[in-house]
Amino acid sequence: MKGIAQLRGTVRHYDWGGYVFIPDMLQIENPAHQPFAECWFGVHPQATSTLIWPGGDQQSLLEYIQSDKKLLGEATARRFGNMPYLLKLLDVKDMLSIQVHPSKEAAVQDYAKENAAGIPPDAPHRNYKDDNHKPELMVAMGEFWLLHGFKPVAELKKTLGEVPELNNLLPVFGEESDYKALYRYVMEMPQQQVNQQLKPLLDRILPQYQAGQLNRSSADFWAARAALTFNHEGITDRGIFSVYLFNLVHLQKGQAIFQDAGVPHAYLEGQNVEIMASSDNVLRGGLTTKHIDVPELLKHTRCEPTEVKILDGEKEGALLRYRTPAPDFELSKITLGKDDTLTVESDTAEIFLLTEGSVSLSDGKNTIELRKGELAAAAFAGQKTKIRALEPAVVFRAGVPAN
């Protein structure tokens, strides 16, 4: 075992990404004004990470783990067979699509069905890219806005009553508060009807948005921005309905939220650190030009009121642990003052991601430094890592929860 190593991630240049946050973290120039949406750290079919050993030798993280599964620890190797999570930096400049992820059991079944049907893996209408679930946890790096699950009954009825252009949805929701019927109604609505119903709403709110009269705490703000971003060629995006049906959540720096299977959600604006099970299974529900399979979406969506649970983390000394029910990952935030130290022991393959300051990491034999531009390091099962802050620092620690 070679011990601690610097880890280089992979940048994804999606159109919705920002131009400054990730290049600044990586200490690179962006003269072409290219969008930097995500930076991935971990093992993934589309983009693995590279280990840089003390001395300069480089090696694929995927190949290194495959060479010796003991690096994962016995429990993780037995249950998952590989590093089961992906750690990311995200910079959300433009709104992301409304998404739902299947459960593990459903992903296994539906992935097998699409394989049996002979649907090519890269087909644009393919829903299931693998047989895994995709729970996600994100921690805000500053102010962050998102949609998360359906509003409670009273709040949803209030919204449908107060937005005049949505009054006709109240009878669909009904006295029984039928979330499934309401969501099915707007998702199966003929496109021409979507255009007609949302036109008076957009005619009312777009001038207000463009005049700077709406603020981010209003659904009207995001509905107007969605229309300007996603409407095209006479097609009004039906995801605008969901902006009013879902909880609008505002996170402050350090606050976190967990997206479980079946919970519809969409990131709207801000930067975060995200950890997720290693999967590409996404069912979209609007705010996108990509494929939407309504029957599959409805099959997996939890059409029920969602209690928004903002996670502030559980403090354990210098470490703040964000607990979730996901068996695939665990994320903690370590905050250290200058010259403070913390020693942690790894039961599995772990990733350390520096977001502020600089630190040295030592496994007893080798020492590496992480500063801006050199953001991540990897440690493996059985290692003890001493973290020392060279200046006040924040480090996220990703791993797998103990069984």
The string of pLDDT tens digits covering residues 306-343 is: 999 999 999 999 999 999 999 999 999 999 999 999 99
The closest of 210, 271, 201, 204 to 236, measured between CA atoms, is: 201
Q: What is the mean pLDDT of residues 112-127?
A: 94
Number of domains the chain contains = 2
- The model's pLDDT over 260-296, given as tens digits with 9 standing for 90+, comes to 999 999 999 999 999 999 999 999 999 998 999 999 9
Residue 45 is predicted with a pLDDT of 78
Active-site pick, 284, 302, 388, 397 = 284
Q: Which domain holds residue 28?
A: 1-36+45-82+329-403
Q: What percent of the chain has pLDDT over 70?
A: 100
How high is the pLDDT of residue 403? 67
Q: Give just the sign of the alpha carbon dihedral 110, 125, 119, 99.
A: negative
Give the confidence band of 44 by pLDDT, cuts at 50, 70, 90.
confident
Strands 265-277 and 283-284: unpaired
Question: Residue 182: is its pLDDT beyond 90?
Answer: yes
Catalytic residue list contains 284: yes
Is residue 6 one of the residues assigned to a domain?
yes
pLDDT at 1: 58
Which of 202, 224, 242 is the endpoint of a domain? 242
In a domain, 115, yes or no: no
| Structural tokens at position 215 | 């603020």
Average pLDDT over residues 105-121: 96
Query: What is the pLDDT at residue 207?
Result: 98
User: What pLDDT band is residue 130 in, cutting at 50, 70 and 90?
Assistant: very high
Q: What is the pLDDT of residue 108?
A: 97
User: Please, which pLDDT band fits residue 48 given cuts at 50, 70 and 90?
Assistant: confident
- pLDDT one-digit tens code per residue, 131-181: 999 999 999 999 999 999 999 999 999 999 999 999 999 999 999 999 999
Q: Residue 379 belongs to a domain with what CATH number?
A: 2.60.120.10
Q: Are 231 and 237 in contact (CB under 8 A)?
A: yes
**What phi-psi label fits residue 9: left (phi over 0), alpha (psi between -120 and 50 degrees) or beta?**
beta
State residue 314's pLDDT score: 96
Write down the residue that tokens 């992935």 correspond to: 111
Domain stop point among 209, 242, 275: 242
Q: Are 285 and 96 in contact (CB under 8 A)?
A: no
| Residues 346/380, Cβ–Cβ less than 8 Å | yes
Q: Flag whether pLDDT at 20 surpasses 80.
A: yes
Last residue of a domain, one of 185, 210, 242: 242
Alpha carbon distances (Å) from 124 to 128, 291, 378:
11, 7, 35
Q: Is 109 among the domain residues?
A: no
Establish if 166 belongs to a structural domain: yes
Token pair belonging to 212: 């700077």
User: Which band of pLDDT confidence, cut at 50, 70 and 90, is reported for residue 2?
Assistant: confident
Q: Give the number of other Cβ atoms within 10 Å of residue 187's Cβ.
A: 20
| 68 in Cβ contact with 2 (< 8 Å) | no
DSSP string, 263-306: --EEEEEEEEEEEEES----EE-SSSSS---HHHHHHH---SB-
Query: Is 102 inside any structural domain?
Result: no
Residue 223 within a domain = yes
pLDDT band (50, 70, 90) for residue 211: very high
- For the stretch 57-82, pLDDT in tens is 999 999 999 999 999 999 999 999 99
